[in-house]
Amino acid sequence: MTVRHLLADDDLTAAEQSRVLDLAARLKADPYAVPVLSGPRSVAIISDKPTLRTQVSFAAGIAELQGHPMLVDGRLAGIGTRESVPDVARVLGRQVAAIVWRTYAQTDLEAMAEHAGVPVVNALTDAYHPCQLLADLLTIREHRGTLAGQRVGWIGDGANNVAASTLLAGALAGMHLQVVAPEGYQPAEDVLTRARALAETSGGSVQVSSDPGVLAGADVLVTDTWVSMGTEAEAAEREAVLGPYRLTTEVAETAPDGIVLHCLPAYRGKEIDAAVIDGPRSVVWDQAENRRHAQKAVLALLCVGFGELAGEHRR
């Protein structure tokens, strides 16, 4: 059987993405419905960058799948310094059922996947954050009833990992995506090309602008920190350029029915006003909870196989 991974959002087809979301919704209602890791089988959760939601939601979710979550400090392991990524992959692949890795370079994650022999899941890299997007899509579906045709407005750093994943996963789901960001912080051409190709098939669309006015009437408003992990040295410059691209009360008022998403951690008064993130249209706590349900679903489907995991079997 070919080993499947989730390295970027478009590793899933549209049909697989919706299967993951359906299974996530089922697991949310019945957390122990699919004990795919019973054995017990261990899953390594490796963190090279700070983590709260990711580590906790994966660990809790793996326990609910009746597996054993193994927390690995990437710095202690010295992945890529003390040992090469392929060697680490070969060693871990002999011990665990899957590897969940938060790291910097997407190429390192790809090398892990190439050599591990077990599913590898991207728990955030500099390039993408696909687990976040599965949780976001689940949250949007819960609050808006549907994904296809929803108008999603992103404001802030349009070149970061969560923005790239929003474009790819959103386009796969048939959403209309509008990124508002200043020059230098707009999505990479490669991401735009892939997202536009997906949107063409799904009936969605992808637009980039530097005018926050285009967010008027959006169904979903999203932002993220201006200073992603690993870019701290650029903090002053980023805050100066991205300053006018905040999710303020005034911007939120132009989309009065829009729900508000933020992957957290949030910096109130910077990328988002406190009144917006703490206001009635904010769904950020649902988003945070949904990380667990979405990740359980994707792990279940990667470990057992998208063709295999049907109905209630494996109980």
Token pair recorded at residue 237:
């410059």
Q: Is 11 a catalytic residue?
A: no
Count of H helices and E strands in the chain? 12, 9
Looking at beta carbons only, is 54 or 248 nearer to ligand NVA?
54
The CA distance from 209 to 177, in Å, is 11
CB of 167 to ligand NVA, least distance (A): 14
CB of 129 to ligand NVA, least distance (A): 6
Choose the stretch contacting ligand NVA; rule: CB under 6 A; options: 137-145, 178-186, 207-215, 225-233. Answer: 225-233
Is the distance from CB of 305 to CB of 1 less than 8 angstroms? yes
CB of 197 to ligand NVA, least distance (A): 24
Q: Is 115 a catalytic residue?
A: no
Looking at beta carbons only, is 49 or 314 nearer to ligand NVA?
49
* Residue 224 makes contact with ligand NVA by CB under 6 A: yes
**Structure letter (DSSP) for residue 272:** B
Which of 9, 10, 48, 224 is catalytic? The answer is: 224
CB of 26 to ligand NVA, least distance (A): 26
* Residue 287 makes contact with ligand NVA by CB under 6 A: no
Judge if the upstream peptide bond of residue 40 is cis by omega within 30 degrees of 0.
yes
The CA distance from 35 to 100, in Å, is 18
Q: Is 263 a catalytic residue?
A: yes
Choose the stretch contacting ligand NVA; rule: CB under 6 A; options: 24-32, 155-163, 266-274, 287-295. Answer: 155-163
* Residue 123 makes contact with ligand NVA by CB under 6 A: no
Of 17, 47, 57, 160, the residue at the interface with ligand NVA (CB under 6 A) is 160
The Cα-based distances of 3 to 98, 118, 140, 172 in angstroms read 10, 6, 30, 22
Looking at beta carbons only, is 156 or 174 nearer to ligand NVA?
156
Query: How many other β-carbons are positioned within 10 Å of the β-carbon of residue 250?
Result: 11
CB of 132 to ligand NVA, least distance (A): 7
How many residues form the binding site for ligand NVA (CB under 6 A)?
Answer: 9
Token pair recorded at residue 44:
């390594």
Choose the stretch contacting ligand NVA; rule: CB under 6 A; options: 73-81, 105-113, 139-147, 156-164. Answer: 156-164
Per the listing, tokens 């769904």 go with 283
| Residue nearest ligand NVA (C-beta atom) | 228
CB of 224 to ligand NVA, least distance (A): 5
Per the listing, tokens 């299967």 go with 19
Token pair recorded at residue 243:
């300053």
Of 17, 228, 248, 295, the residue at the interface with ligand NVA (CB under 6 A) is 228
Q: Is 132 a catalytic residue?
A: yes
* Residue 161 makes contact with ligand NVA by CB under 6 A: yes
At 262, give phi and psi (nearest 5°): -155, 130
Class of residue 94 by CB neighbours under 10 A (exposed 0-12, middle 13-18, buried 19+):
exposed
The CA distance from 238 to 226, in Å, is 6
The CA distance from 55 to 127, in Å, is 19
Q: Is 246 a catalytic residue?
A: no
**Under the rule (CB under 6 A), what is the footprint of ligand NVA?**
124, 160-162, 224-225, 228-229, 263
- Residues classed as catalytic: 102, 129, 132, 224, 263, 291
